[in-house]
């Protein structure tokens, strides 16, 4: 696994590619709540990775994410992330 950080442009390109793929594979199918779909797909792994690198320290993770600790705790609970 390559642990080299993605640049903003390559990260953005990955997201754009995934979204284009999603819409192209719908083939006229019903579109649901795309915002919720994307947020759920991004938020949970984001929280898991940040908590891993913060070694479970919620104060540190909250600072890195730009959130207050209460908001982080609510998100961790929502996605069952420890």
Query: What band does 7 get if pLDDT is binned at 50, 70 and 90?
Result: low
Per-residue pLDDT of 42-80, as tens digits, reads 999 999 999 999 999 999 999 999 999 999 999 999 999
The owner of tokens 């792994």 is 45
Region of 57 on the Ramachandran plot (φ > 0 left; ψ -120 to 50 alpha; else beta) = beta
Structural domain of 60: 8-78
Q: What is the mean pLDDT of the chain?
A: 90
Contact status, residue 32 vs residue 46, Cβ threshold 8 Å: no
Give the predicted TM-score (pTM) of the model.
Answer: 0.74
**Lookup: tokens for 28:** 């006229």
Question: Which whole-number Å values give the CA distances from 63 to 32, 48, 54, 68, 70, in the listed order?
Answer: 33, 15, 10, 7, 12
Number of domains into which the chain is organized? 1
Express as a percent the part of the chain with pLDDT over 90.
60
In a domain, 2, yes or no: no
In a domain, 43, yes or no: yes
């Amino acid at each position: 696994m390559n642990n080299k950080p993605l640049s903003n442009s390559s990260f953005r390109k990955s997201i754009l590619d995934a979204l284009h793929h999603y819409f192209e594979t719908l083939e006229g199918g019903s579109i649901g709540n795309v915002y919720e779909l994307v947020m759920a797909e991004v938020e949970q792994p984001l929280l898991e990775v940040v908590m891993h690198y913060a070694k479970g320290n919620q104060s540190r993770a909250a600072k890195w994410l730009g959130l207050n600790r209460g908001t982080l705790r609510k998100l961790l609970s929502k996605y069952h992330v420890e």
